[in-house]
C-alpha cells in the first residue's frame, strides 16, 4: 500500500492547515475498506435510532407510552437497515415491512407538507 500526501492550504488568516492523504490500495484492501465503511454506516444508523428514542420523540406531542412505542419501532427499522448494510440475509417479510413503513412515513410527510403549503 502506497500513501500519497497532498497539502491544501487555506488562504484566510488564522485558519488551520488541512492535510489530505490519498491512498492507493490493492484489490483485497479495497474490499476491506468498503466492508468497514458499511459497518461504520450501520453503526451510525443504530446510533441514530437511539438518539431518536431519547431526543426526537420527546419533542412530539403524546404520552410517554406512545413515545416509547415509536422509538422501539424506529429502532427495529434501524436493525433491519443495519443488517442490509452488513450484507446479512434478511427475511422477505422483514424487508417488505421495512419498505412499507418507510413508504408510509414518506407519504405522511408529503401529505403534511401539502397541508402546510
Mean pLDDT on 99-103:
76
Task: Determine the Cα angle at 19 with ends 18 and 20, to 5°.
Answer: 125
Answer with the residue of higher pLDDT: 49 or 75.
Answer: 75
pLDDT tens digit string along 104-115? 777 776 666 666
Q: How confident is the model at residue 15 (pLDDT cuts 50, 70, 90)?
A: low
pLDDT tens string 38-48:
776 666 666 66
Residue 49's CB is within 10 A of a number of other CB atoms, namely 21
Full residue range of the structural domain in which residue 51 is found: 2-116
> Count of domains in the chain?
1
pTM here? 0.34
Rounded to whole angstroms, how far apart are CA atoms 86 and 88? 6
Q: How many CB atoms lie within 10 A of CB 105?
A: 12
Amino acid at each position: 500500500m502506497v500513501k500519497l500526501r497532498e497539502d491544501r492550504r487555506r488562504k484566510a488568516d488564522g485558519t488551520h492547515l488541512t492535510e489530505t492523504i490519498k491512498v492507493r490500495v490493492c484489490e483485497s484492501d479495497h474490499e476491506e475498506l468498503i466492508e468497514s465503511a458499511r459497518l461504520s454506516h450501520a453503526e451510525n444508523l443504530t446510533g441514530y435510532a437511539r438518539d431518536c428514542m431519547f431526543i426526537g420523540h420527546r419533542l412530539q406531542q403524546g404520552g410517554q407510552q406512545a413515545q416509547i412505542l415509536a422509538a422501539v419501532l424506529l429502532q427495529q427499522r434501524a436493525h433491519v437497515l443495519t443488517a442490509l448494510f452488513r450484507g446479512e440475509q434478511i427475511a422477505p417479510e422483514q424487508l417488505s415491512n421495512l419498505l412499507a413503513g418507510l413508504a408510509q412515513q414518506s407519504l405522511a410527510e408529503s401529505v403534511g407538507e401539502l397541508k402546510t403549503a
